[in-house]
Structures are given as C-alpha cells and as structure tokens.
C-alpha cells in the first residue's frame, strides 16, 4: 500500500488531508449565483402543475377537463390513462428482501387514488400560475373508499385490503433469531419491556423537488435537469420506463437545495414530467410547492416498536427482543423499496453491545397515507432509540448509572473484527474510547453534581447518553444484489490539461456535503499540486464515469478512494514522462508545488505546465515510442465488508419545565469515528447538521394525519422544524479507526448525527423526570406528551 518512498500518498508534504480547507464552490452560492433547477428556463418551456387527490382512497369516476383546456396559457391537460401510453408503471420490490410485495404504480393515478396528494391529472401551461388557474377548472368526480390509516389494525381481517391482488396489507415481514433468547431472558435478574413510538416525519429540503425534462425530438434524446443524489439511477429508470436506451437519456444535476435522502428516489410526478416532455415534445418543468412537498416527498420513521431487554444485577445485558411495526403508505417506493428501513432496524438493534441473544420481528404494512422510504440515517434513529432506551431502562431497573451499564456491555475496543447480534460484521470500532472522550468533553461528574443541586430548587435537568453504530460505504449488498440498477461502485477520471491544471470527473454528487472539496483535496494531495489547480466536475451522466452518487454516507469513502487511485495512476504517468524529458528515473522524481522535483532533495526540475506544454504541443521533441497518457480513470467498490460500520456516542443536557412541558436543549456532544478525516470542518458540520435533524425529530417534527388519511399540518407554519433559536451549540470530537479496506481509510459521516440525537434527548428527558417516576418512550417529545406523562393533563 505504501509508496516506494515510504510515505503514504496521504502523508506527503503539503497534503490537504486532515485540513479544514474551505469548499471551492461556496462563492457562487453566497452571491445568489448558484443554479438550482427552479432557476432554469429553456425556450418553449412549459410548466406542469399536478391536480392531486383530496381523498386518501377513492375511485376516480370521471375527469372533465373541457373548461380547463380553454383557460389562458394552457398547453395540455393529461390524465393517467393518456400518459400511460408513453410511460410504463413500476413495482418497488427487491429480490433479496424475500417476500416483499407491492402493486404497480403509475406516473399519474388511473381509476383509483391511494393517498391524499396522489396526482390525478397534469396541467401544462405557459406559466405555473396559469397552470394552477386551469387546475381549478378540472372537474374530477370521486367515489370515496374506506381509508386504511391505522397501521396497528392494517392486518386485521376486518380492514379493507388496499391492493386486492396482493391478498393482504402486509408488504414485508422479517423474522430473525440468534443465540438462546428464551434462556437468556430466563437467566436475567430483571426484564424490562417498553413500546417505543416514533412520529412520521419528513425531510423538508428547503428547495422543493424540481425537475426540468427536455425531450429533443430531433436528437431523440431526453435531457433531465434534476437535483438528484443518484444521476445514473435516474438515467437507467427514465430510459427503462420511457422505452429508451440509456444513451438517449442524460441527467444533469446542478446545485441542489438539500437532499437528505428525499432526492434519492424516483417519484411518480418526476416520471410524469419526463413523460410529458416526450409526449409534448418540449421542455417541461415541475417545481413542487410546499404543500405538495409535505404530501408527496417521502415520509419516514412511522414506527411502533415493542422492545424487551434482559439484564443481570451486575449490569450484564443478556438479550434484546423487538417487534417492530411500520406503515409505509400504499406503495413500496421505487426503486429502493420501503422495506429497507424496517430491515435496517432489525440489523442495527443491540449493535454496540456484546450480547448475542437477539430476536426480532419487523412487519411493514400498507396504508392510505403518503409513501415512506429512506431518509437520512435510514432505520438508525429507530434502532438507536429502542436500544439505548432499553439500556437506560435496564440500568434504572437494577439501579446502576447509565454510563456504567454501557461500560460493562459495549463491545471492547480490542475485540475486532467481530459481528453484531444480527450478524453484520464490524471491522474496527471504538465504543469505549468514544465514550471516554465524550465524558471528558462534557464533564459528566460536574453535570451530575449540577443536576442534583438544581433539583433542590425544583429545576429539572437531565443527561442522556446514546451509543450508536452507523452503516456507511455500502457495497452491492444494499441494492445491487436485490436486482436494483443502483451502482455501488464509483469512478473518477483525472487528467492534466495543457496548462498543467487538473480536471477531475467523479460520479459522486454534491448537495452541500463537500463532495467537490474532498475530491479536490485528495487529488491535489496525491498529485502534489495546489487545490486551486484542481477543477471537479460532477452531476452529469454525459461527462462523468458511471457510479452510484452520494447517499448512505458513501461519497468520501467510495468516491474518495476512486479519486485517490486515479490520481496515483496519473502521478505515475506524469513521472514517466518527466523521467524521459529529464533523462532521469521515475523513482528519483516526485511532484510538489505544481512542479516535478527531485525525490531526494526536493529541488524543482520542471514545472507541470511546462511538462504539459511539451506533451500536448511538442510531442515531436519526445523520444520515439513515448506516448504520454495524462488522463487516468479508476473505479472502486468495497468488496471485503458489505458495509463499513462507524460508531460514536452522543450526549444531551437539557431542562424540562414540568409546568409547561417545554424542553430546553442546553448542550449536545458527539464523539464519532469515521476513520480517516479528510476535512475536519466538513465532518463536524455533517455531524452538527445531522444532529439538528435528529433533534427536530425528537422534539417537533410529525406529519399529523387524521383518521381519514388527511395530512393536517402540510405547511411550514404547522409542521415545526428546528430553527436557530431553539438549537444548542454542539461540541464534536473524534476517534479515528481507519478502514483497512481502502488506502484512504475513510468511512462515512453523513448520518451519525441523525442516528443518535433523538435517543440522547429521550434518555435525557427520562433522566430529568426520574424524580416523578415518569417514563416517556415516544417522540416527538411535545409539551403535550411531557405533561401527559407527568399526569398533568
């Protein structure tokens, strides 16, 4: 792995690895000169507005668009049946999730709507406002059907089956058992059970989903401008369902106003927009408004999970058991499916701990609500909240400190490699080092003393701890093995141009995480050039290698390794040419400060720009047979471990007002271990942003449906998100356990913050309410939930 000179490619002089260099793409965003999809305008562009069902479940009896077609500016009004001539339906299943079933979903509903917000007609006009005017004139007659909204009764015989062809409302069930569970519970000195309830919430990207599809009938080519996390996935599916070759579809992804997993799926209205462009032979733009975002962006985390833990009096955890139920809406989402979240919960429960006795059941049911699917930290917040909630309850039951029970049960830092109770393999984690570090950062004993002193004054502060694991760098085990055409490998092409500048094309994408920055840092470090010389191109299927994109905390670990390997090849190629020009040996040369230098004393030999000038303009001066190759491409996919697990711990310090039920967050700490840290500032900001998303789920965020399946808070005034006033400062620390699977050694960091935040908050609230004997296992922890638990309302 190491270089001939003994230095790793990452430890070279002037390396950017481990440095907090600013991202190169910030200036345009700060000046308001970014390019988001909704900023784009093409000649003859039509705007589409979708007329959406007001019913959660209804037959469509008729659609009369006669009056609407006469409205000013209207280009076309298209129903589901008409659009089905252009685009085929899909079924969101994966073969490795055995038994997962779903029904065919159309771009626009045909005959029947299955959730409030499903599109029933597309209105295309010369402006969005005129399309909205015309939409009001479309007369749709519905026959309302009974809506299945309660997941706890979705499987009852008396409940209507949403898709009769499927036989029942069960989309997926997984049962898992390891070790001797019954015996372990029998041998426990105490067994604690609780039901954990999670509010259905959503991503609320500040930029709504937006698509601009441009079918050029002359070229027979469809260009789709879309803020997607996975351009090649969109290319594949748009081609498949429109009956095109992949080469006929180009995906261009410019600036993206937030994604968080919301923009990694294929939505029916997006498919409809592609199809409308083909049908109407002109560019069509769809920009969701905020009400549509709440009603159609995927929701997540609508789980009720019964949990059980066995513990001995010495603090040893003997077993975990869960029974998880989740409602996913009427369809399994395409193409990643809506069974992954429950599957992840089963995989991750008990993950930080040594106990190997584990039983799990997860059931995924259909409902007449908006679809649920993967959102940042898929399944992790559920698994972490259940596991860490149970661990605290067990500690409380046997009367030991929450830190102590973790010390006694967390997997030892020298026990790796080993496996989770569910069988997933851990290469190298650092639970104890992380716990020690966070206790030091927060002054645990000091806070406990403060807590005790304030209780005497009727001020109730609580301290919550949550250890967690995070799935990152997923291999083909995530989707590829199940038949989804979602690449798990990424590619990077690096070339030196005629002025000595470096151009780097990567298949990972940028939504603000810093993909562009970390790619430039790696390439510049390996090559020995300054970062300003490196230009990164991403988000264009015509102009980047084929790859997965940016999701599941994979960009740095997988795309970063591909960049490293490509840059190494280019470096060697440059040194080969330099050795010819300088009549030296490649091993005697190196690159530093944008020049070829002596490996021995660092003396400059030839500027890269001069070398490039010779290669491109005076190749005649090179000896015969020398053909320089100043472009290199490499791809990478993890093969040894299906996932590179990371770990960490979060701690929360808060105050509960027992009269009002309000919770004030005072401070939050995170220690995480993502292996090699390419850019400390970017990692810390991923953690902080992720934590705040988790804090939103813990305290505020919930999609509130009524019993008829109506979403009652589909706007930003009623659906509460974290704002700056309520959020605490967050201290972030690190432990570094590199993955040996790559030369880079980096694991992901995008979801760690979200994974454990809610668990830390809930444990802190229960810690604060300890004197009242109140235990809460439900989020969001609204004042109503708190006061109810205190018996005050």
Partner 1 sequence: MNGQVAISLEVNGERVEAQVAPRLNLADFLREHLALTGTHVGCEHGVCGACTVRVNGDIVRSCLMLAVQAQDASVETIEGLSDSGEIADLQAAFRERNALQCGFCTPGMLMAAQDLLKHEALPNRDRIREHLSGNYCRCTGYQAIVDAVESTAKARRAP
Q: How far is the CB of 23 from partner 1 (least distance, A)?
A: 7
Query: Candidates 394-402, 454-462, 640-648, 721-729 — which segment interacts with partner 1 by CB under 8 A?
Result: 721-729
Between 28 and 98, name the residue whose CB sits nearer to partner 1: 28
Per CB under 8 A, does 34 bind partner 1?
Answer: yes
Closer by beta carbon to partner 1, 38 or else 594? 38
In whole angstroms, how close is the CB of 763 to partner 1 at the nearest point?
20
Select from 331-339, 361-369, 628-636, 715-723 the region that touches partner 1 (CB under 8 A). Answer: 715-723
Site residues for partner 1, 501-530, by CB under 8 A, read: 511-514
State the minimum distance, in angstroms, from the CB of residue 701 to partner 1: 11
By the rule CB under 8 A, 286 interacts with partner 1: no
Site string for partner 1, 734-763 (x = CB under 8 A): -------------------x----------
DSSP labels, 732-750: EEE-----TTSSS-B---S
Distance CA 27, CA 36 (A): 15
By CB under 8 A, name the one of 136, 245, 289, 532 that touches partner 1. 289
- Cα-based distances in Å from 461 to 393, 435, 757: 18, 21, 17
Residues binding partner 1: number (CB under 8 A): 57
387 makes contact with partner 1 (CB under 8 A): no
Give backbone dihedrals phi and psi of 670, rounded to 5 degrees, phi first: -135, 135
On whether the CB atoms of residues 395 and 387 are closer than 8 A, the answer is no
User: ω before 570 within 30° of 0 (cis)?
Assistant: no
Taking the C-alpha atoms of residue 330 and residue 557, their distance in angstroms, rounded to an integer, is: 35
Choices 86-94, 141-149, 718-726, 775-783; region in contact with partner 1 by CB under 8 A? 718-726
Examine residue 206 and tell whether it contacts partner 1 (CB under 8 A). yes
Phi, psi of 441 (to 5 degrees): -60, -40
DSSP string, 193-239: EEEEEE--EE---SSPPEEEEEEETTTTEEEEEE--S-HHHHHHHHH
Residue 246 to residues 32, 221, 233, 237: CA-CA distances in angstroms?
A: 34, 10, 10, 9
Q: Give 287's contacts (C-beta < 8 A, 6+ positions apart).
A: 37, 38, 47, 128, 208, 209, 210
In terms of Cβ atoms closer than 10 Å to its own Cβ (0-12, 13-18, 19+), residue 763 is: buried
Considering only 3, 8, 29, 770, the residue that binds partner 1 (CB under 8 A) is 29
Where in 688-707 is the site for partner 1 (CB under 8 A)? 688-693
| Smallest distance from partner 1 to CB 683, Å | 10
Find the binder of partner 1 among 80, 203, 548, 675 (CB under 8 A).
Answer: 203
Burial 202-234 (b: 16+ CB within 10 A, else e): bbbbebbbbbbbbbeeeeebbbbbbbbbbbbbb
Pick the stretch among 179-187, 250-258, 577-585, 737-745 that binds partner 1 (CB under 8 A).
Answer: 250-258
Neighbour order of strands in the sheet with 644-656: 460-472, 644-656, 663-673, 730-734
Binding segment (CB under 8 A) for partner 1, from list 153-161, 497-505, 627-635, 722-730: 722-730
Looking at beta carbons only, is 146 or 532 nearer to partner 1?
A: 532
Whether cis (ω within 30° of 0) applies to the bond prior to 780 is: yes
- Judge if the upstream peptide bond of residue 487 is cis by omega within 30 degrees of 0: no
From 723, 740, 771, 793, residue interacting with partner 1 (rule: CB under 8 A): 723
> Considering beta carbons, is residue 287 or 333 the nearer one to partner 1?
287
Alpha-carbon distance of 290 to 311, in angstroms, equals 47
Q: Indicate which single residue of 161, 716, 736, 790 sits in contact with partner 1 (rule: CB under 8 A).
A: 716
Beta carbon nearer to partner 1, 324 or 685: 685
Q: Which residue has the tokens 């000649």?
A: 43
Question: CB of residue 717 vs partner 1: minimum separation in angstroms?
Answer: 5
Alpha-carbon gap, residue 139 to 777, rounded angstroms: 46
| 455 lies in the site for partner 1, by CB under 8 A | no
| 207 forms part of the interface with partner 1 (CB under 8 A) | yes
Contact 201, 697 (CB under 8 A): yes
727 binds partner 1 (CB under 8 A): yes
Count the Cβ atoms, other than its own, within 10 Å of residue 76.
18
Q: Minimum Å distance from CB 511 to partner 1? A: 6
Asked if residue 408 binds partner 1 (CB under 8 A), the reply is no
Span interacting with partner 1, options 189-197, 486-494, 683-691, 761-769, rule CB under 8 A: 683-691
Please tell me whether residue 252 binds partner 1 under the rule CB under 8 A. Answer: no
Q: Is 208 in the site for partner 1 (CB under 8 A)?
A: yes
User: For residues 151 and 662, what is the distance between their CA atoms, to the nearest angstrom?
Assistant: 29
Angle, helix 380-398 to helix 752-768, in steps of 10 degrees: 30
In the set 625, 725, 773, 791, which binds partner 1 (CB under 8 A)?
Answer: 725
Considering only residues 23, 303, 432, 460, which one is a binding residue for partner 1 as defined by CB under 8 A?
23
For partner 1, the closer of residues 205 and 489 by Cβ is: 205
Check binding of 205 to partner 1 (CB under 8 A). yes
Q: How far is CA 475 from the centre of its chain?
A: 15
Q: Which stretch binds partner 1 (CB under 8 A): 240-248, 391-399, 592-600, 709-717?
A: 709-717
Give the whole-angstrom CA distance, residue 263 versus residue 267: 9
- Residues in contact with partner 1 by CB under 8 A are 20, 22-23, 26-27, 29-36, 38-39, 72, 129, 203-208, 255-260, 289-290, 511-514, 681-682, 685, 688-693, 715-717, 721-727, 729-730, 753
């Amino acid at each position: 792995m190491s270089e001939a000179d003994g230095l790793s490619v990452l430890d070279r002089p002037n390396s950017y690895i481990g440095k907090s260099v600013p991202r190169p793409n910030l200036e345009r965003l700060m000046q308001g000169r970014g390019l988001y999809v909704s900023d784009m305008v093409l000649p003859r562009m039509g705007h589409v507005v979708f007329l959406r069902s007001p019913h959660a479940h209804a037959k469509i009896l008729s659609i009369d668009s006669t009056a609407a077609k006469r409205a000013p500016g209207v280009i076309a009004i298209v129903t589901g049946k008409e659009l089905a001539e252009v685009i085929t339906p899909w079924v969101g299943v994966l073969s490795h999730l055995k038994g997962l079933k779903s029904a065919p979903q159309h771009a626009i509903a045909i005959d029947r709507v299955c959730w409030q917000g499903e599109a029933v007609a597309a209105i295309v006009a010369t402006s969005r406002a005129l399309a909205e005017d015309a939409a009001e004139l479309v007369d749709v007659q519905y026959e309302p059907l009974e809506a299945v909204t309660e997941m706890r009764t979705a499987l009852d015989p008396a409940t209507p089956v949403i898709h009769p062809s499927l036989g029942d409302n069960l989309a997926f069930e997984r049962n898992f058992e390891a070790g001797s569970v019954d015996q372990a519970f029998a041998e426990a000195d105490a067994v604690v059970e609780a039901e954990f309830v999670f509010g259905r919430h959503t991503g609320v990207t500040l930029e709504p989903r937006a698509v601009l599809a441009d079918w050029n009938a002359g070229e027979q080519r469809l260009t789709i401008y879309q803020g997607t996390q996975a351009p090649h996935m969109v290319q594949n599916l748009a081609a498949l369902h429109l009956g095109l070759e992949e080469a006929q579809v180009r995906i261009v992804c410019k600036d993206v106003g937030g994604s968080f997993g919301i923009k990694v799926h294929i939505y029916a209205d997006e498919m409809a927009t592609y199809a409308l462009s083909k049908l109407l032979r002109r560019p069509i733009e769809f920009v969701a408004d905020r009400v549509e975002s709440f009603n159609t962006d995927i929701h997540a985390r609508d789980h009720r999970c019964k949990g059980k833990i066995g513990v001995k009096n010495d603090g040893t955890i003997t077993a975990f058991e869960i029974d998880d139920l989740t409602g996913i809406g009427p369809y399994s989402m395409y193409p990643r499916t809506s069974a992954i979240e429950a599957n992840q919960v089963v995989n991750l429960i008990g993950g930080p701990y040594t106990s190997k006795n584990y039983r799990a059941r997860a059931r995924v049911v259909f409902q007449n609500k908006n679809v649920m699917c993967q959102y940042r930290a898929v399944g992790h917040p559920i698994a972490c909240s259940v596991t860490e909630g149970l661990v605290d309850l067990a500690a409380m039951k046997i009367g030991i400190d929450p830190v102590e029970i973790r010390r006694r049960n967390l997997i030892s830092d020298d026990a790796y490699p080993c496996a989770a109770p569910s069988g997933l393999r851990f290469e190298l984690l650092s639970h104890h080092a992380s716990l020690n570090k966070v206790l030091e950062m927060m002054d645990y004993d000091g806070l406990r003393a403060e807590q005790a002193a304030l209780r005497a004054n009727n001020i109730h502060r609580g301290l919550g701890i949550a250890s967690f694991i995070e799935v990152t760098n997923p291999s083909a085990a995530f989707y590829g093995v199940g038949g989804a055409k979602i690449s798990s490998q990424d590619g990077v092409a690096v070339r030196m141009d005629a002025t000595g500048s470096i151009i780097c094309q990567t298949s990972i994408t940028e939504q603000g995480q810093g993909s562009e920055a970390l790619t430039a840092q790696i390439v510049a470090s390996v090559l020995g050039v300054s970062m300003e010389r490196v230009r990164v191109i991403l988000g264009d299927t015509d102009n980047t290698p084929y790859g997965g994109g940016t999701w599941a905390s994979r960009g740095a670990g997988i795309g970063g390794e591909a960049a490293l390997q490509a840059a190494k090849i280019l470096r060697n190629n440059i040194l080969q040419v330099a050795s010819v020009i300088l009549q030296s040996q490649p091993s005697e040369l190196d690159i530093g400060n944008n020049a070829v230098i002596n490996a021995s004393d660092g003396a400059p030999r030839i500027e890269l720009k001069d070398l490039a000038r010779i290669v491109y303009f005076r190749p005649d001066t090179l000896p015969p047979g020398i053909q320089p190759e100043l472009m290199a491409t490499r791809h990478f996919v993890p093969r040894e471990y299906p996932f590179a697990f990371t770990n960490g711990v979060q701690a929360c310090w808060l105050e509960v007002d027992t009269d009002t039920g309000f919770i004030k967050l005072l401070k939050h700490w995170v220690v995480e271990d993502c292996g090699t840290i390419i850019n400390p500032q970017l990692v810390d900001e991923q953690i902080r942003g992720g934590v705040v998303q988790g804090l939103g789920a813990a305290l505020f965020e919930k999609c509130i449906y009524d019993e008829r399946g109506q979403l009652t808070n589909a706007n930003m005034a009623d659906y509460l998100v974290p704002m700056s006033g309520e959020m605490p400062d967050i201290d972030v620390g690190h432990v570094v356990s590199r993955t040996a699977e790559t030369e880079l050694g980096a694991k992901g960091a995008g979801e760690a913050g979200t994974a454990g935040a809610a668990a830390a908050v809930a444990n802190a609230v229960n810690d604060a309410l300890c004197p009242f004997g109140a235990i809460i296992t439900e989020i969001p922890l609204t004042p109503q939930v708190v006061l109810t638990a205190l018996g005050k309302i």
